[in-house]
Amino acid sequence: MLGQRRLVKPLIALIATGAVVLAVSGCAFVKFHSLAVSQPQGIGTVRVHFNLCTINLEGEGITEICGPNKGKSETFQYLVGIAVPPGSTPPASFTAVPIGGGAPIAFTRNDELVAEMSASAAAIQKLLGELKPEEIEKVQALLIEVFGGPWPPSGLQGVGYISAPVLEAEGASGEWSVDADFGLPTAAGGGPFPGPFVTAIAYGVRAVSASQPANRAVRCARLEKETKALEGEAFCSGAIQQAQVGTSDLQIAGPAKPVKAFVGGKAKLAFQLKFATTAAAVPTFALSATTTAKGGKAKPASKSFTPGEPGATTHQSPTGTDKVTVSLSPKTKPKTYTVTLTASTPQGGSVSQVAKLKVTKPKLKFGATKLDLAKGTATLKIKVPSGGKLTIAGKGVAKVKKKAKKAKTLKVKIAPTGSGGAQLGSAGKVKVKVKATFKPTSGISVSKTKSVVLKLR
């Protein structure tokens, strides 16, 4: 590619005079019409694709820019601006992969480039606005493909990237393929992003030398009539190509608070599935579930989830639900575990949500004991932690069984029998040990003992 002054001056002359011949050859540029955007996995990340190639612009008319480097060997850095919907998650770097041989080109994120490209694009648009109608007509194709429009385009946010230094050898011809993956933003209101995912690309280049190091600040030239480019400045375009794709997005929400379960029991965790799309077809998701509870098993209520018809204006489907049942081992230790529901597409994409499961042992709590001296019995209060069956037994006392539908305090009558009754009758009192055993509706049994002194008067 030509030196920095030789690069920018002909571009200024091109705009100012309407000339069609661009006296620049060899520098890598975005290949015309190569920008494309897709959602490879049917959900989640969007891939922005474009090609770079060495350029060789000669003669009248512009049909294809790719060709061998006609300039002398020089070192350059390439600048790339990618515009995406606000809130998208950009990659920290990407690599331009050579097609047909050559070395890869590494790009890293550069935040200062966005404002520089914006200012440069504004200057270009101002200059283009000063052209005469006949001048615009002569260079219409080149104005669109090389200089582009405002940066970033309205409604989008720009992300900048700068390459490592690249030596452009005289006579060399190269092409590179670029794939940059962006995470979907969150829609207004916090819901799934319906799409479409719109993108645009801008491009730039600057020379690198001993006096112009690769780690210097980025400065894009402001193209103006009668203005010379300063050494060290970059040529930067506006938005030269745009593309979009309909996307699908799924959000899964779990219980807001930890769900409780007893050791050896079961728990059901409810998940909500919110879906939005502007893609051509609504996907069906395969559902699976896992838990970190050792020996535990997690199973969703359904094997798959197919979202309902999206709204015509909101592009959102009605909220779906699924319950994950977790079966715990009697050997599971009491602590807080995670339960994960995953929805997967046939293309390999997936969305997951994690909920918390608090595992404890059931506990019994003895309350006050009230004696009936006339009958020689006692009423014992026992607090049970959930629905289930309570059994009271012990030597010298009558066996008692009670049921509870939920956590509550039960009143249990302790009555002497057998040897306990005989001792009470002869001595007027007897000390008995009662064993309370509780079997939750779901979970292991728990037992607790208490000594009770029965009296008779």
> How would DSSP label each residue in 397-430?
B--EEEEESSSEEEEEEE-B-THHHHHHHHHSEE
The domain segmentation of the chain, as residue ranges, is 4-245, 250-360, 365-455
CA distance 135 to 124: 15
Per-residue pLDDT tens digits for 79-93: 999 999 999 999 999
Secondary structure letter of residue 348 according to DSSP: S
Choice between 17 and 70, residue whose per-residue pLDDT is larger: 70
CATH topology assigned to domain 250-360: Immunoglobulin-like (2.60.40)
**Token reading at 300:** 């969703």
User: Does the pLDDT value for residue 370 go beyond 60?
Assistant: yes
**Token reading at 71:** 């300039």
Lowest average pLDDT, out of 1-15, 204-218, 254-268, goes to 1-15
Q: pLDDT band at 9, cuts 50/70/90?
A: very low
**C-alpha R_g of the chain:** 37
**Token reading at 311:** 């709204």
Q: Number of C-alpha atoms within 13 angstroms, CB side, residue 225?
A: 11
Peptide bond into 310 cis (omega under 30): no
Q: Are 112 and 217 in contact (CB under 8 A)?
A: yes
pLDDT in the model for residue 376: 92
User: Does the pLDDT value for residue 287 go beyond 50?
Assistant: yes
Per-residue pLDDT tens digits for 98-120: 998 889 999 999 999 999 999 88
CA distance 345 to 290: 18
Label residue 374 exposed, middle or buried (CB < 10 Å: 0-12, 13-18, 19+): exposed
**Token reading at 345:** 């597409």
Q: Number of C-alpha atoms within 13 angstroms, CB side, residue 288?
A: 6
Predicted structure pTM score: 0.83
User: Does the pLDDT value for residue 8 go beyond 50?
Assistant: no
**Ordered alpha helix ranges (H), 130-194:** 133-138, 140-142
CA distance 384 to 365: 7
> Which residues are bridge partners to 84 per DSSP?
157
CA distance 131 to 270: 64
Indicate the CATH number for domain 365-455.
2.60.40.10
* First vs last C-alpha separation in the chain: 114
Nearest of 201, 112, 197 to residue 152 by alpha carbon: 201
CA distance 54 to 99: 12
Lowest average pLDDT, out of 62-71, 86-95, 369-378, goes to 62-71
CA distance 45 to 284: 18
In the numeric block, the tokens 């899964």 are attached to 252
Nearest of 96, 62, 101 to residue 80 by alpha carbon: 96
Average pLDDT over residues 115-134: 79
Nearest of 205, 8, 228, 183 to residue 90 by alpha carbon: 183
* Domains 250-360 and 365-455 agree in fold: yes
Instruction: Name 403's Cβ contacts closer than 8 Å, sequence gap at least 6.
Output: 388, 389, 390
Q: pLDDT band at 235, cuts 50/70/90?
A: confident
**Token reading at 63:** 């049909």
Average pLDDT over residues 338-359: 97
